[in-house]
Amino acid sequence: MRHSWVLLLFAMVLGVGCDSGLTESPPDPEAGQTVAFQKSRPTIGAPAEEFTLIDLEGKWLSLADYKGKVVLLNFWATWCGPCRVEMPSMEIVYKDLKDQGFEILAISSDHQGSVITRPFVEAKALTFPILHDADYRVSGAYGIRTLPMSYLIDRQGTLRHRVFGARDWNSPEARELIQNLLDAS
């Protein structure tokens, strides 16, 4: 177990992530694959792709619901070790900055949905919204091929930063990045 923890920390420092199973190959409809793939990732400086997904309480939430806030859009799964490692630092930053207009939308690609994410969220005492993207529709639109992967979106809905792999979101550098977006009008 100790060896696994060291490997996860090493992966986090290097900014590597888990293979999400997504490739650049188009889905095979005859095999029942209905994933919407995007050959390239969205362009930084472009408007964020709109979406609507269901949360843990069965409520439908849209990215548009968070217009006027700085949003950390985090793509993750419970089976992804680096994803699990970065979640506590996300919670700390969320609690500290949510009153300033900061929001986290954590988009899970777990096929089982809330059956698997709810126990994880409760065990980690996470309070930010957890959304479900089991069919990879939103993940595909954002060019997600490995997990975790995050985007920072400014108050106007523009993609400002793309972050590959796990990060310590409570680090001075990450906080400065977020604070700069919060302070911008």
**What is the C-alpha separation between 57 and 185, in angstroms, rounded?**
32
Question: Which CATH number is correct for 2-183, 3.40.980.10, 3.10.450.40, 2.40.50.100, 3.40.30.10?
Answer: 3.40.30.10
Tell me if the pTM is above 0.85. Answer: no
Query: 141 vs 39, which has greater pLDDT?
Result: 141
pLDDT above 70: residue 6: no
**What is the C-alpha separation between 36 and 62, in angstroms, rounded?**
18
Token pair for 181: 């977006």
Per-residue pLDDT, 85: 95
Q: For residue 178, what pLDDT band results from cuts at 50, 70 and 90? A: very high
Cβ 109 vs Cβ 80: under 8 Å: no
Quote the mean pLDDT of the chain: 85
pLDDT in tens, 98-124: 999 999 999 999 999 999 999 999 999
Q: For residue 1, what pLDDT band results from cuts at 50, 70 and 90? A: very low
Orientation of helix 172-183 relative to helix 81-97, angle to 10°: 50
The DSSP output letter for 67 is T
**What is the C-alpha separation between 89 and 83, in angstroms, rounded?**
11
